[in-house]
Amino acid sequence: MALIDGQPRVFEVYQRAAAERRPVMVPATALFAANKQVKLSEQTWAPVFMEPNVAVMELSQSSALRAGDFADDMVTAQVSLEAADTGGFIITERPDDYRPLLRTWSW
């Protein structure tokens, strides 16, 4: 959401990740939540996902079952699960929503 809102520091992290070919993983539930707020078309979202290092993480049956161990709401749960599985950072404006063992970055 912060990327679409034009948060400069988040955009900088996104650009740096693209330049360094570091993976940017967007859980499907986070994309759903962001689009519920901004209501953009697929064409408008397309530039975000055109970078070869950006991937949407689908919510599989296995992920859905395991995510429940992390949080009560599905978005926080899937984001947490994907970060835990990959060792990735969670970029969020609400770091307190996530377990202390998960690495978060906020602006």
Task: Flag whether the pTM goes above 0.75.
Answer: yes
Secondary structure of residue 69 in the 3-state scheme: coil
80: containing domain: 2-105
13-63: pLDDT as tens digits: 888 988 998 888 899 999 999 899 889 999 998 988 888 999 999 999 999
The CATH number of whichever domain residue 62 belongs to comes to 3.40.50.1010
Collect all residues with Cβ–Cβ distance below 8 Å to 98 and sequence separation of at least 6.
Answer: 71, 76, 79, 80, 83, 90, 92, 104
Tally of CA atoms within 13 A in the half-sphere of 3 that contains its CB: 19
Vertex 107: Cα angle to 47 and 99 (nearest 5): 100
Does 8 score more than 80 pLDDT?
yes
Please tell me the total count of domains within the chain: 1
The Cα 71–Cα 80 span in angstroms is 8
